[in-house]
Amino acid sequence: MILGYAGKILEVNLSTETIKETKIEDGILKDYIGGRGLATKILWDRLGKKWETIDPLKSENILLFLTGPLTGYYPGGRICVSGKSPQSNGVVGSTVAGEFGVELRCAGYDGVIVTGESETPVYLFIKDSDVEIKDARHIWGKDAKQTVAMLTNDSKEFLRKRYPKFGELKEPAFLYIGPAGENRVRTAVVAAKWTHAAGYGGYGAVMGSKKLKAIAVKGTGPLPEVANIKEIKRLIKAVNDNVYENVLWRRWGTGSGGYEVGAKTSSEPVRNWQDEWHDEKSYGVDQFENRVWIKQSWSDFGCPTCCLKIAMVKTGKFKGAITDNPDYEMQAYLGPNLGIFTPEENVFLSSLADDLGFCGIQTGNVMGFAAELFQRGILTKEDLDGIELHWGDAEVFAVLAKKIAYREGIGDLLAEGTYRAALKIGEKKKTDVLKYAVQSKGIGIGAHGIRSGKDYPEPISYTCSVQGGDHTSTTALPLDGPGSELGEIFNDSGVHCNFNVFGVPRKVKFDFYKAITDIELTQEEWYKTKALRILQLQRAMLLLGGPDVKWKPKIHDENPPRFYEPLPSGPYKGKAVNKTQVEEYKIKYYNAVGWDKNGIPKTKTLKKLGLEDVDKALEKLRG
């Protein structure tokens, strides 16, 4: 057994209501680490042969919650949620912060694998090796805040009864879904606390399809044994000392972005990306800080940054709305992207997104898309069930958000996410609306535009990523450079927060890996072999796709059409992405990662990485 791992994974079949423990071979752990890498490998081994036929929202999909050896040790604990994605039909490693990963490891598990589906709503309760599938009918239908309160109270009572002698146990950590997940909305999240979410991928819908409302975990053991605890203490301090120096980053988190990313770098979605510039000072970080932030530092296990702040609206129409920050992505997508520029309205919509259990990015993206179609007269008031979807009207967007979460009327169509909704609307209206869909491979693009070149500088940031529009996992050259997807695969597979790597020498996380596992992993080995292997596997599964939509690199390794339109205003007015440059860069990228001119991983590449079976599966795509 490798040091730093609990050594077993909990496996629950909800169809047969059976619970067992699964061990993963050391060789696989060495190559795929944990989290995103390991999830990809497990999914390939179990579902690879029939991948194209697997419906992500049917019982045959597998839902994974995986930690990595760095979880709990590297400051900023997270857990990686994965499975076949109902957004991309590939694999997304979607991480969420909180204590869940740490509690799970302290309970003696490196992860949870959920298969099958339950007939009635259930939740999984884990107290060390004491695991139960519990009735969740009373929690089904509840929003985020109600769900957390009920789970907290239920589990405290349960733990007190079952372990009366311990004294007070801390409340367990929870992952759960809201109404959007229950209704299999493709933009639904797996949530933690009130406001944290594994957003990209749409795994809330997968959890809902399995009728799994939540997982609660309480672990009373230590984190798994490591090779060199003294060295870990030193490394933790190295990360902390770096972060503590960055005072404004700690003070504002990403909450200064709502104004800054628009005004300074012209890369914020404004009215469905029709613009990326605004200079609305009403949206400044000072306004958020002085008017709605009621807690300046909120964080998760071991985190020195505390990028989260708690916001609450105290007066006016939206009084009582509570959320975190909102962080930049929520500020942008549930703000300027909908024509909204006041903190109170933004907090209101973010709070609603939390409560309904969907991703503010994906849902903000699809609502902005719908609003642009309304603006252009393509979707009418009648199409929208009588709603007039005007930019800047927070209350109207709230009505639409609820329709999406409950799949009512037009909401049922938009609940499919921007890409699938665009296909259906285009067919119905006999016009191309895909040109207004700002997404990549079924995943709405994160709130960092590339037209100005001042924020995400690469014209292929979103074109070749194996996680589509995910702004945390973008593509760039060189492959071992700071913008490369291969670096993010480490964070998502070691499973720790990628914010706490900013400004920290890259060597540190590799040193963590060594101090934990006692296995030497050189940066060269990671970038040239291990990360590349995970990337190829994710790429292969993304291209195999199905059963509904599939991606052809020639068509879909591409920016949204909007990014080729010149920016209409601001200091970078006129700037757009250059198509020739994208094509040239793409070929260079294909070469670097070992894909052929059609974007398919080459036989040579795959064989070198020991992925012969993947090569065989890709034969049919090579034509």
Partner 1 sequence: MPTKKEPIWIARDLIKCSGCRKCEIACSLYHENHIWPEASRIRVFMPVPGADFPHFCTQCEDYPCVKACPVNALSISKKTGAVLVKTKACIACGKCIDACPGRIPHMHPTENHVVICDLCNGNPQCVKVCQEGGWNVLTMVHRRTRPYKLYARTPEQIAKDLATKMYGEQAEEYL
CA distance 305 to 582: 36
- Please, which residue, 303 or 443, has the CB nearer to partner 1? 303
Beta pairing partners, 444: 439
Beta pairing partners, 126: 131, 217
- Please, which residue, 351 or 473, has the CB nearer to partner 1? 351
Mind giving me the DSSP string for 245-261? T-HHHHHHTTTTHHHHH
Range 377-415 burial, b when 16+ CB lie within 10 A, else e:
ebbeeebbeebebebebbebbbebbbbbbbbebbbebbb
The residue type found at 164 is P
- Please, which residue, 168 or 382, has the CB nearer to partner 1? 168
Helix axes 343-356, 394-405, angle to 10 degrees: 10
Q: Shortest distance, CB of residue 177 to partner 1, whole angstroms?
A: 16
Q: Shortest distance, CB of residue 73 to partner 1, whole angstroms?
A: 7
How many alpha carbons lie under 13 Å from residue 544 in its C-beta half-sphere? 28
- Please, which residue, 295 or 622, has the CB nearer to partner 1? 295
- Please, which residue, 230 or 620, has the CB nearer to partner 1? 230
- Please, which residue, 310 or 519, has the CB nearer to partner 1? 310
Please name the helix (run of DSSP H) or strand (run of DSSP E) that holds residue 386, with its range, or none: none
- Please, which residue, 308 or 438, has the CB nearer to partner 1? 308
Q: Shortest distance, CB of residue 326 to partner 1, whole angstroms?
A: 14
- Please, which residue, 356 or 387, has the CB nearer to partner 1? 356
Residues that bind partner 1 (CB under 8 A): 72-73, 99, 102-103, 106, 145-146, 148-149, 152, 156, 165-171, 193-195, 219-223, 225, 229, 233, 236, 240, 244, 250, 294-295, 297-304, 306, 310, 312, 320, 322
Beta pairing partners, 18: 13
CB 376 within 8 A of CB 386: no
- Please, which residue, 233 or 573, has the CB nearer to partner 1? 233
C-alpha distances out from residue 422 to 186, 269, 439, Å: 14, 19, 11
Q: Shortest distance, CB of residue 99 to partner 1, whole angstroms?
A: 8
Contacts of 206 (CB under 8 A, 6+ apart): 56, 57, 61, 63, 83, 84, 86
Residues in the chain: 623
**Cβ atoms within 10 A of the Cβ of 242, count?**
18
Beta pairing partners, 186: none
- Please, which residue, 66 or 303, has the CB nearer to partner 1? 303
Give Cα 340 to chain centroid, integer Å. 24
Q: Shortest distance, CB of residue 189 to partner 1, whole angstroms?
A: 15
Q: Shortest distance, CB of residue 159 to partner 1, whole angstroms?
A: 12
Q: Shortest distance, CB of residue 2 to partner 1, whole angstroms?
A: 17
CA distance 359 to 200: 8
Q: In terms of DSSP H, where are the helices of 61-168?
A: 100-106, 144-162
Q: Shortest distance, CB of residue 497 to partner 1, whole angstroms?
A: 12
Using DSSP's 3-state secondary structure scheme, residue 491 falls into: helix
How many alpha carbons lie under 13 Å from residue 477 in its C-beta half-sphere? 14
Closest of 68, 494, 35, 175 to residue 43, by C-alpha: 35
CA distance 38 to 29: 7
How many alpha carbons lie under 13 Å from residue 349 in its C-beta half-sphere? 34
Q: Shortest distance, CB of residue 474 to partner 1, whole angstroms?
A: 28
Q: Shortest distance, CB of residue 320 to partner 1, whole angstroms?
A: 6
Phi, psi of 123 (to 5 degrees): -135, 155
- Please, which residue, 245 or 427, has the CB nearer to partner 1? 245
Q: Shortest distance, CB of residue 232 to partner 1, whole angstroms?
A: 8
